[in-house]
Structures are given as C-alpha cells and as structure tokens.
C-alpha cells in the first residue's frame, strides 16, 4: 500500500506537474477520492517518506472534518434505530402487531429504546391495541443516507444544521485534519527505489554508483552514544591535578595505607594527644586490631619527649604522654599522615639531605555528620616541598602557580592555625559564579617540633598544602550535592555523559 501510494503521488506529479489538493487523489485500494481524515494521514506518511528524499515538497492546509462514531458506523451498516424498529413490524392490516417486549427481543435494547420514539415522530409506526404496527409501506432512512455521505466526504451538502443534529446524537464528531498541496522536489523522479545510504564495494565494481541516487547526510542527527567504560568525574579531576603536580616536578607519594596509627596521623605531626581532632566524634578508630606495632624506638623517643618536655627551641605540651594513645589504630583523617612517613624517610637518608617535592591524592576518613557537602570519606590533594632555607613566600608562590594551572587565578591567603604548621595559611579562591571568595585549602610551614625529631638539618624547611578533590570537582561539573558525586545515589548515566575534558 505504502509503495502504491508513493507511486500514485509521483505519477500524478509527473502527469499534472503538481497536486493541488490531495483529497482529490483516487486511492488505489479504495477506488475513491481520499476525502476522509484517515486517508490524508496515510497520504502524509507517503509524503514524508518522499520529501525526506527531496522527491516532493508539500504545503499543509488545516481543515476540520466529520467522522463517524462507532454508533454512526453501525448505522451506516445496519440502518438507523428507527428504520430497524420499522422493519421489524408488520404493515397495518397485513399482520399481527408486536408488543414492545417482543420488539426488544428482535432489535435489541438500544435500538428499541431510541428507535421507537423517532419512528413515532416520523409517522412510520403506530399503536394497535397493546402492540406496534407499521403505518407506511416504505421509508427513506435519511440518517443512514446522511451518515453514508459523512463517511465518504467528511461533510454534508445539506449543511450545518443536520450535522449539528448528528453530532448531538453522538453519531459523528468533528475532527481536525489536514490536506496537502504537492510539488516536485529537487530529486523528483517517478522511481520509488530507495536512495543509497552507503557506497559499497559492489556498487564500485558494477559501476552502479554512477547512476544511483544517494541519501543526503543529516548533519543535525545526534550520534549514537558509544558504549564502553567511562571515568568518574573525580578520577578525571584527579588526573588533571596529578598532571599539574608532575609538570611542576613533583613525585607521587605512596598512599595505600588507609589505616594508620595515632603516632603517624597525629603524634609525628606534633598534634597534642589531647587535641579534639583525635576524639571519637572526629576520628574512626579500629576495634580489631586495636593497636599498632611500635615505631622505630629512637624516633618514637624523640617524638614523645618533644611532646612532653619540648626541645628544639620548644617548651612542648607539658602533658603526660600516652603510649596507648599513640598506638591506637585509626582510619587516616588526612594524607599528611602519609607525608609524615615520607618526610621521616627523607630525613633519615644515609647519604645526606636532598630537596624533595612530593604530592598525593587519596582518600581520607572523618567521623562527620553527613549532609549535602560532607561525607565521612573524601579525597585529599596534598603537596609537600622540602629544601634548605625555604620561606613563606616560596609556599605562597608555589600555591599561586599550582592554583593558576587549575584555572584559579585569584587567590588570597589568611593566617590560620594548624597544630603542625607555623605559620599556617588558609587559601581562598574567588568563585566567579558565586561572586565571592570560597575556602579551597589549607597550608603552612611544618614546625621544627615535627621536622627536627625526624632528623632534618636545622636549615631545612618543609612546607605543604592540602585541599579536597571533591570541592573543585563539584564546582567544575556544577554539582551542588556531594551525593550526586559519591555513593549509591550516583547516576551511572550521568557519569557516562559527563564531559571528558573541561575547558
């Protein structure tokens, strides 16, 4: 059918140059003009298929047209209710009257109910005793004739008054529809052969490519999403930051030990054993095993003495030292625990001190109340630089270059407090979208109470800075709830569709 209809349209265009009104087309399967709405919908399908190949162009005209309801269609087939009532009866004087109950049995509930009244009104039937009888030998079933006309033309020559009556009787409804004016397109031909979408080896060898028609490329079409793995935004930003560190000559620190001891996470950094960060409310402690092995005794001795009694120009905390507190196992609360291991190794180098630039990006754990911007675990980015005679200006300079490479040009520093650094600086960046300064990290020069027990020469300074990986990732990808980034509410589809590179 579709094929025959396309051919009909093309042939009509060939012979008549254009089709003024598609309602005048004689449908191949109907043998009648395509006057009803359904016919035009079929024609539209054919037109769309042809116009996608630029074989035709068409204009659309809106019309409203009448179509039969199922009840109307029934009447076209079997006659109106009143006609069916009339034909069920005997003509007066020629047979016995029929009771209403009997009539119901013959024509059904609906027809006997609606049809009797109309047949009476038309003067077609009358009463005889308790029964009903035909009064006229012949009738004209006007309703059936009218509905037949509506079915084939969508309208009635007799006019709106009768149409309105048929609508009221729910035999027809008004439907909006369309018809079309059709012209030849730029690729017009009477052949309905499908245009080629690909040039094949066969076409080249047979030479059929010379005469074939080709489907145009649709440059507006969206590509098919590729299947395969995708990187999580955090991993992408991690890679970017890692590259910045590598460009700046930093080496990556090993950070695989999520479990640390109180000694390496806090004591080695000169964080007092009574510091609130070490409380259960802030740190996750292990219950099994509970205790770490002892660190190297001489270093342990120097650290505990510095805490308790001072040294290296410090008076210490003057609080009793707890061996147990130091050996508690915990989930590291910052990657500075890993930095402490590395700095200790660096200080203990047998062939003397060598400057170092180290970084790490890995996971840390804090016993936080979780909300839109806090989870109990996140990633820290940390940089550490050790050299002789470094100054605070070196630290600030490093951070300016680092943040600039991350796309953050405007940075500001504010004095802050850290148990292990002095001076300490909080880092603020200007957020153009929020139009305000936001805190992006923390930094400082590590204290001599931390560095000298490790064995660093007195003139060696170490500075460091840390930031979260989640904060810049959320800003980059316009995410305002951390749960869309990490955890079970992350949409895999969102991960797959997130841009590979942000500019």
Q: Which stretch binds ligand PHE (CB under 6 A): 93-101, 318-326, 352-360, 441-449?
A: 441-449
Query: How many angstroms separate the CA atoms of 149 and 162, rounded?
Result: 12
Q: Does 334 bind ligand PHE (CB under 6 A)?
A: yes
Residue 389: CB partners within 8 Å, gap ≥ 6?
459, 461
Of the chain, the end-to-end C-alpha distance in Å amounts to: 53
Q: Does 466 bind ligand PHE (CB under 6 A)?
A: yes
Query: In terms of CB distance, is 172 or 451 closer to ligand PHE?
Result: 451
| Single residue of 97, 421, 452, 473 touching ligand PHE by CB under 6 A | 421
What does the DSSP 8-state code read for residue 379? E
How many residues touch ligand PHE under the rule CB under 6 A: the total is 11
Query: How many angstroms separate the CA atoms of 198 and 222, rounded?
Result: 18
State in angstroms the smallest separation of the CB of 298 from ligand PHE: 25
Q: Does 419 bind ligand PHE (CB under 6 A)?
A: no
Q: Does 283 bind ligand PHE (CB under 6 A)?
A: no
Q: Does 382 bind ligand PHE (CB under 6 A)?
A: yes
Q: Tell me the C-alpha to C-alpha distance, in Å, between residue 80 and each of 4, 114, 261, 479.
A: 36, 10, 95, 67
HSE-up of residue 36 (Cα within 13 Å, Cβ side)? 16
HSE-up of residue 255 (Cα within 13 Å, Cβ side)? 24
Query: In terms of CB distance, is 149 or 377 closer to ligand PHE?
Result: 377
| Single residue of 444, 448, 453, 472 touching ligand PHE by CB under 6 A | 444
Q: Tokens for 357? A: 């630039």
Q: Tokens for 256? A: 């695989």
What does the DSSP 8-state code read for residue 268? G
CB atoms within 10 A of CB 123: 10
Q: Which stretch binds ligand PHE (CB under 6 A): 5-13, 294-302, 368-376, 438-446?
A: 438-446
Q: Which stretch binds ligand PHE (CB under 6 A): 160-168, 354-362, 389-397, 436-444?
A: 436-444
Q: Does 448 bind ligand PHE (CB under 6 A)?
A: no
Give the sign of the dihedral formed by CA 327, CA 328, CA 331, CA 333.
negative
Query: In terms of CB distance, is 154 or 444 closer to ligand PHE?
Result: 444
| Single residue of 79, 115, 233, 464 touching ligand PHE by CB under 6 A | 464
Beta strands at 356-365 and 251-252: parallel, antiparallel or unpaired: parallel
Q: Does 360 bind ligand PHE (CB under 6 A)?
A: no
Query: In terms of CB distance, is 421 or 473 closer to ligand PHE?
Result: 421
Q: Three-state SS for 112? A: helix
State in angstroms the smallest separation of the CB of 450 from ligand PHE: 10
What does the DSSP 8-state code read for residue 169? T
Q: Which residue's CB atom is positioned nearest to ligand PHE?
A: 466
Residues in the site for ligand PHE, rule: CB under 6 A?
Answer: 334, 336, 382, 418, 421, 442-444, 464-466
């Amino acid at each position: 059918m579709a094929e025959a209809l396309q051919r009909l349209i093309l042939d009509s265009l060939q012979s008549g140059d254009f089709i003024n009104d598609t309602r005048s087309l004689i449908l191949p399967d109907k043998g009648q003009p395509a006057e009803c709405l359904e016919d035009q919908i079929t024609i539209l399908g054919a037109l769309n298929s042809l116009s996608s190949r630029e074989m035709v162009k068409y204009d659309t005209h809106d019309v409203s047209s009448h179509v039969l309801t199922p009840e109307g269609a029934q009447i076209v087939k079997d006659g109106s209710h009143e006609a069916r009532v009339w034909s069920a009866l005997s003509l007066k004087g020629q047979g016995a009257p029929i009771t209403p109950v009997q009539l119901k049995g013959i024509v059904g509930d609906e027809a006997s109910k609606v049809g009797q009244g109309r047949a009476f009104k038309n003067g077609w039937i009358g009463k005889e005793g308790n029964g009903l009888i035909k009064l006229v030998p012949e009738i004209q079933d006007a309703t059936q004739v009218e509905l037949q006309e509506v079915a084939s033309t969508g309208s009635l020559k007799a006019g709106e008054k009768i149409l309105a009556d048929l609508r009221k009787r729910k035999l027809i409804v008004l439907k909006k529809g369309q018809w079309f004016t059709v012209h030849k397109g730029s690729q017009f031909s009477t052949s309905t052969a499908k245009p080629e979408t690909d040039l094949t080896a066969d076409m080249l060898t047979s030479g059929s490519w010379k005469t074939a028609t080709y489907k145009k490329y649709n440059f507006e079409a969206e590509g098919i999403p590729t299947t395969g793995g995708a990187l999580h935004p955090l991993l992408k930003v991690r890679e970017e930051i890692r590259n910045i560190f590598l460009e700046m000559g930093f080496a990556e620190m090993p950070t695989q030990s999520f479990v640390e001891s109180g000694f390496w996470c806090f004591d080695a950094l000169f964080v007092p054993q009574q510091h609130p960060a070490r409380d259960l409310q802030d740190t996750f402690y292990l219950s099994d095993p509970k205790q770490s092995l002892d660190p190297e005794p001489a270093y342990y001795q120097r650290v505990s003495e510095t805490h308790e009694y001072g040294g290296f120009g410090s008076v210490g905390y003057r609080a009793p030292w707890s061996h147990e507190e130091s050996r508690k196992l915990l989930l590291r609360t910052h990657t500075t625990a890993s930095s402490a291991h590395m700095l200790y190794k660096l200080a203990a180098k047998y062939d003397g001190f060598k400057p170092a630039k180290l970084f790490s990006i890995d996971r840390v754990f804090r016993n936080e109340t979780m909300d839109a911007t806090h989870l109990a675990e996140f990633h820290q980015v940390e940089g550490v630089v050790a050299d002789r005679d470094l100054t605070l200006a070196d630290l600030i300079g490093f951070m300016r270059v680092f943040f600039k490479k991350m796309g953050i040009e405007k940075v500001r520093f504010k004095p802050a407090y850290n148990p292990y650094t002095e001076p300490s600086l909080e880092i603020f960046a200007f957020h153009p979208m929020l139009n305000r300064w936001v805190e992006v990290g923390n930094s400082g020069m590590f204290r001599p109470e931390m560095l000298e027990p490790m064995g660093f020469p007195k003139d060696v300074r170490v500075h460091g800075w840390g930031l979260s990986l989640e904060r810049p990732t959320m800003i980059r990808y316009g995410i305002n709830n951390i749960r869309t980034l990490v955890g079970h509410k992350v949409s895999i589809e969102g991960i797959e569709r997130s841009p590979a590179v942000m500019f």
